[in-house]
Structure 1
Amino acid sequence: MRSLNSPTTFATPHLLRSSLRPSYNICYKLKSYSNSHAPGLSISSSTSLIAPMSMQQQQQQPALANLLGAMPAASMISLAFTAAVATAALFVAVAVARYNRKYRGLRLPPGPPGWPIVGNLFQVAFSGKLFIHYIRDLRREYGPILTLRMGVRTLVVISSAELVHEALVEKGAEFASRPAENTTRNIFSSNKFTVNSAVYGAEWRSLRRNMVSGMLSTSRLREFRPARLRAMDRFVARMRAEAAASADGASVWVLRNARFAVFCILLDMTFGLLDLDEEHIVHIDAVLKRVLLAVGVRMDDYLPFLRPFFWRKQLRALAVRREQVDTLLPLINRRRAILRDMQSSPPDPNVAAPFSYLDSLLDLHIEGREGADDELVTLCAELINGGTDTTATAIEWAMARVVDNPSIQARLHEEIMQQVGDARPIDDKDIESMPYLQAFVKELLRKHPPTYFSLTHAAVKPGSKLAGYDVPTDANLDIFLPTISEDPKLWDRPTEFDPDRFLTGGETADMTGSAGIRMIPFGAGRRICPGLAMGTTHIALMVARMLQEFEWRAHPSQPAVDFKDKVEFTVVMNQPLLATVKPRKMSL
């Protein structure tokens, strides 16, 4: 990547390709776009003479004008309608011919019949069901592998442990790529230059190897222990202040406090800057939230001919990208300056950490990439956005289970007292020796995975098959997770929340999927989320610290915890958790 003395530049990424987000979010939002318009957009046409008119043609013009002038208005409307229908019919015929030619000779998985051009797009949008329920219904009719045509996109959805193992483990190299990006997401991924979005190949291997060895290995995660302790102390202080300021002196919102703590940890790990005040952190968080909103799926991702009607949204996305670069680039340049100074003297431990993810990116060299500043912004933002909401929502679900089940809370607190007591804050080293806490986190991720679908996969080359069916290279291979964690053939009492199932002598949970697919909240195979160890560590540590500091109870406004969920950026509680906390007597 760029050297430490590199000037600050911003090169707007080229707009290439078009694609879609993970399918659960795409289809979930279709209704909101079905009635959208593009105000102020006008389409004009002009005509020009290709060749001079002949004398005979010039003589015919007045006669033609007289004929049209004499036609009744109804006839004119009928003529225009006929022309429009003929044009539409021609468009449909061409599209159908292209589709048939594209998939001629292929045996796709079964699925509902679709309409020309739009496929199953409007059937999904106007079904009146959430996409996950629509998929469950289709699964009952077509089985664990099925096809949906969403405009120009073909989705192959698999939903059984056997098929997931075939796709991601047995044939992992065949389905290790990612589908093409849409134009907006391409801006924010610097043309697929991230660990998650890169196509399968040398560039992806370099990016992933750098992230794992430079940030997420066991030894490197231990080095970031001070960042976690700082964030935990700030987190507890915020919770105490919020409770004290509430009307009853005890109420706290779990998600927003947990999210802030996780964001602080990842910001620290990414840039190694320790003197950012809370106002600055909140601003950075707000900008990165706008990025998540900007990459939301639009109808033109499925029907590209509608793209001109979304030009305003594209301009807004470019503005958000500029704001993202303007916000993160000063942090990058500050770290560059610190690294230059570190060559002659150690950094102030209150200002800078000895290492950050950015340091590894500055030393990374990938053939064909210039290492421009906008690429550094993209890779730094990927780590922060990728780990914030998934971890924070898991913590909210965890505390909901604790509030709902006092016996679970009592066992977790008892284990904490046995391990560390109340003489010091619990930390990473302690949670490794706490089997019930580890079992609790596993059961949490089984019952409440961060998403309904894993990140979309794609076939690397033509000829790939699953369960004997063809999977084209331009198809999106989507993995539906709930039916796996709910499968009674894989789990005893799958609908119950029971951490004891994972204790010694109980059920096993290989979250990597390499020993068999039973639960894969982080994906599986070659494209498994590299942040698995980091995510589970953060969840366990924050849950343990919250239970060490506070006794948790249901809030009077929420006497019964509502475990219904909904899709936002992740799968969140339908009703955000408001809880009552009582500080425990601590001798810290």
Structure 2
Amino acid sequence: MALDIFLLRELLAAAVLFFITRYFIRALLKKSNRTLPPGPKGWPVVGALPLLGSMPHVTLAKLAKKYGPVMYLKMGACNMVVASTPDAARAFLKTVDLNFSNRPANAGATHLAYNSQDMVFADYGPRWKLLRKLSNLHLLGGKALEDWSQVRAVELGHVLRAICESSQKGEPVVVPEMLTYSMANMIGQVILSRSVFVTKGSESNEFKDMVVELMTFAGIFNIGDFIPSIAWMDLQGIEREMKKLNKRWDVLLTKMMEEHAKTAQERKGKPDFLDIIMANRENSEGEKLNLTNVKALLLNLFTAGTDTSSSIIEWALAEMMKNPKIFKKAHEEMDKVIGRNRRLQESDIPKLPYFQALCKETFRKHPSTPLNLPRVSAQACEINGYYIPKNTRLSVNIWAIGRDPDVWENPLDFKPERFLNGKHAKIDPRGNDFELIPFGAGRRICAGTRMGIVLVGYILGTLVHSFEWMLPNGGELNMDEAFGLALQKAVPLSAMARPRLAPTAYVPKF
């Protein structure tokens, strides 16, 4: 009885807060000639939360067609604004980028990212700058990526041989599992001087499951984040699952760091990424990273570094299998430039314009992050003549921008040719062209943008060049999406691979 009364009181308080924030603030804005962007009215207390459904990026894109490119939603007790076109994204992520350089507090940052101790959720400030600087210098920047190109080549060689073995046995390749295994080992070699997984099996599959779980939980609209007064009830059970998952990750990361410390003597004169981070944990501003910061950073690198790139590659292969003419064009270009007597090398990619266009088309139609990680306004501002209050959450619908019919002709078609000539020929996915921002833009653009582009180009190019890909037993190709922080295929791609190069091309030469 006491609990029922307490619950009723909390819900009543939430309802009162909703009506106060909704109507009182609107009245004040009207009186001061300040106009909020248009948007759906939503429901009492919960606002627009029930409208989002299981595919928020799709729902928000549909709502934007009705309410416009800059749309306002009351989400529980919180304000949220959604940008759904290139111009709207540019206004937020370039014109007033500094004002939206922080992340709002949420359960994901608290329970998955060690209470925002990582690089992804940290406030824009000295600690974030130190984490970003160290990551760029020694792992994610251009020079660092060149330095570990040999690691990518060796690890991908292992994958090619494994695929050849599956082909000989007549077994299909489960593409996302294969990609996660490969990328985790590439990143592990650079960070820890060792492969994370010795063999592909239950351990690597569990890692893949943990990555997908984390990215899924991080993308869910958690009711408690938007109605703080009832967050303690954890109505969706999300926070409970987040805490369990964080414990599993903490066990794995702690084990990695402990084993790494034991082999420090073996790396004298040849430090890896973790050695460098541990030796440079303090900057000139007096900011010092603790072990939790380091652990949280490793979590960022292993999850975002594997899941986002692997999802792009999986979608690209699926689109090509759906349209064999695209596969044929890619093979013809690669055979002309590379031939069939050797593997593709990273230096070949600039000579493959059709393949580069294919990668851009995948970034457009299947961005790994459909909705950018939310940001929040530090101060009130004005966008496109609309008033944006302080502490308003910003969501950029990257998925909707890539399918905007005012920007892209026949946006639902997969046409790499659109990037070969005309107005889209020089568009680049690195955050400066707002028609194509798969990694976001501005100060909080994904730190792994360069790495993501390199991994997608090299791994996808090698898989396309090295094999013919077919559905097992003439099965049907499912192209449904599964929403999360990263946009997964609802049904993982499983395909038969047939080698198409000379046998010597698959023999390791390192």
Identify the TM-score tier after normalising by the shorter chain. Answer: 0.7 to 0.9
- For 1:255, the aligned partner's letter is P
Provide the residue aligned with 2:182 in structure 1: 261
SS at match of 1:411: helix
Q: Is 1:112 paired with 2:45?
A: no
C-alpha separation in 2, matches of 1:270 and 1:294: 25
Q: Is 1:402 paired with 2:330?
A: no
C-alpha separation in 2, matches of 1:523 and 1:84: 40
**Superposed displacement of residue 306, structure 1:** 2.9
- For 1:109, the aligned partner's letter is P
Match of 1:154 among 79, 92, 97: 79
Equivalent residues of 2:103, 2:376 under 8 A apart: yes
Provide the residue aligned with 1:323 in structure 2: 248
Residues 172 and 272 of structure 1, relative CA distance in 2, 3 Å threshold = same
SS at match of 1:323: helix
Residues 263 and 478 of structure 1, relative CA distance in 2, 3 Å threshold = same
Give the alignment of 1:12-411 within 5 angstroms.
Answer: 92-93=15-16, 95-97=18-20, 104-105=28-29, 107-125=35-53, 130-182=55-107, 185-245=109-169, 249=170, 251-274=172-195, 276-278=197-199, 281-282=204-205, 284-289=207-212, 291-292=214-215, 295=218, 297-310=221-234, 314=239, 317-343=242-268, 354-356=271-273, 359-365=276-282, 371-411=289-329
CA displacement, residues 270-323 of structure 1 (integer Å, 9 cap, x when unaligned): 222248523665555555555446655533223333333339865654444333
**Superposed displacement of residue 228, structure 1:** 0.9
Aligned length in residues = 493
The worse-fitting range, judged by mean Cα deviation, of 533-542 and 406-415 is 406-415
C-alpha separation in 2, matches of 1:524 and 1:187: 26
Q: If the length of structure 1 is used for normalisation, what is the TM-score?
A: 0.75
C-alpha separation in 2, matches of 1:580 and 1:372: 46
Residues 504 and 360 of structure 1, relative CA distance in 2, 3 Å threshold = farther
Q: If the length of structure 2 is used for normalisation, what is the TM-score?
A: 0.86
SS at match of 2:116: coil
C-alpha separation in 1, matches of 2:11 and 2:217: 32
C-alpha separation in 2, matches of 1:228 and 1:85: 57
The worse-fitting range, judged by mean Cα deviation, of 270-279 and 535-544 is 270-279
C-alpha separation in 2, matches of 1:511 and 1:502: 12
CA displacement, residues 537-574 of structure 1 (integer Å, 9 cap, x when unaligned): 11121222222321123433425x34332314422234
C-alpha separation in 2, matches of 1:334 and 1:232: 24
The worse-fitting range, judged by mean Cα deviation, of 404-413 and 142-151 is 404-413
Provide the residue aligned with 2:454 in structure 1: 537
C-alpha separation in 2, matches of 1:85 and 1:390: 42
Equivalent residues of 2:312, 2:456 under 8 A apart: yes
C-alpha separation in 1, matches of 2:197 and 2:347: 27
C-alpha separation in 2, matches of 1:405 and 1:427: 25
SS at match of 2:177: helix
Q: Is 1:494 paired with 2:494?
A: no
**Superposed displacement of residue 156, structure 1:** 0.6
Q: Is 1:433 paired with 2:356?
A: no
Residues 468 and 358 of structure 1, relative CA distance in 2, 3 Å threshold = farther
Provide the residue aligned with 1:14 in structure 2: none
SS at match of 2:234: helix
The worse-fitting range, judged by mean Cα deviation, of 156-165 and 129-138 is 129-138
Equivalent residues of 1:325, 1:374 under 8 A apart: no
The worse-fitting range, judged by mean Cα deviation, of 478-487 and 569-578 is 569-578
**Superposed displacement of residue 386, structure 1:** 0.9
**Superposed displacement of residue 383, structure 1:** 0.9
Provide the residue aligned with 1:454 in structure 2: 372
- For 1:549, the aligned partner's letter is S
Provide the residue aligned with 2:438 in structure 1: 521
Equivalent residues of 1:457, 1:476 under 8 A apart: yes
Q: Is 1:570 paired with 2:486?
A: yes
Provide the residue aligned with 1:579 in structure 2: 495
CA displacement, residues 120-163 of structure 1 (integer Å, 9 cap, x when unaligned): 233445xxx74334323322322111111121222111111111
Provide the residue aligned with 1:28 in structure 2: none
**Superposed displacement of residue 119, structure 1:** 1.8
Equivalent residues of 2:222, 2:238 under 8 A apart: no
Residues 201 and 99 of structure 1, relative CA distance in 2, 3 Å threshold = farther
SS at match of 2:455: helix
The worse-fitting range, judged by mean Cα deviation, of 267-276 and 304-313 is 304-313
**Superposed displacement of residue 168, structure 1:** 0.9
The worse-fitting range, judged by mean Cα deviation, of 312-321 and 214-223 is 312-321
Unaligned runs of 5+ in 2: 506-510
C-alpha separation in 1, matches of 2:324 and 2:359: 16
C-alpha separation in 2, matches of 1:84 and 1:484: 41
C-alpha separation in 2, matches of 1:214 and 1:524: 22
- Cα RMSD for the two superposed structures: 3.2
Residues 93 and 326 of structure 1, relative CA distance in 2, 3 Å threshold = closer
- For 1:502, the aligned partner's letter is F
Unaligned runs of 5+ in 1: 1-41, 46-79, 348-353
Equivalent residues of 1:446, 1:519 under 8 A apart: yes
- For 2:481, the aligned partner's letter is D
Provide the residue aligned with 1:553 in structure 2: 470
Residues 313 and 338 of structure 1, relative CA distance in 2, 3 Å threshold = same
Percent same amino acid among aligned pairs?
24
Provide the residue aligned with 1:412 in structure 2: 330
C-alpha separation in 2, matches of 1:370 and 1:99: 42
Provide the residue aligned with 2:508 in structure 1: none
C-alpha separation in 1, matches of 2:221 and 2:104: 14
Q: Which one has the bigger helix percentage? A: 2
